[in-house]
Amino acid sequence: MKKVGILGSGAVAKALAKGFLANNYEVMMGTSNADKLKDLAGVKIGSFEETSKFSDLLVLAVKGHAAVKVLANCDTAGKTIIDTNNPIDEKPPVNGVLSFYTDLNSSLGEQLQSAYPTANIVKAFNSVGSSQMVNPDYNGIKPSMFICGNNEASKNSVKEILTAFGWETEDMGSIEASRAIEPLCMLWCIPVLRTISGRMRSSF
- From CA 204, how far away is CA 199, in angstroms rounded? 9
119, 81 Cβ separation under 8 angstroms: yes
Per CATH, the number for 3-202 is 3.40.50.720
Domain ranges for the chain = 3-202
pLDDT confidence bin for 199, thresholds 50/70/90: very low
Query: pTM of the entire structure?
Result: 0.93
Give the C-alpha distances (Å, rounded to integers) separating 180 from 50, 55, 100, 173. Answer: 33, 29, 13, 11
Q: Return all residues near 139 (Cβ < 8 A) that are at least 6 apart.
A: none
pLDDT tens digits, one per residue of 102-156: 999 999 999 999 999 999 999 999 999 999 999 999 999 999 999 999 999 999 9
CA atoms within 13 A on the CB side of 76: 25
| Contact by Cβ (8 Å): 169, 163 | yes
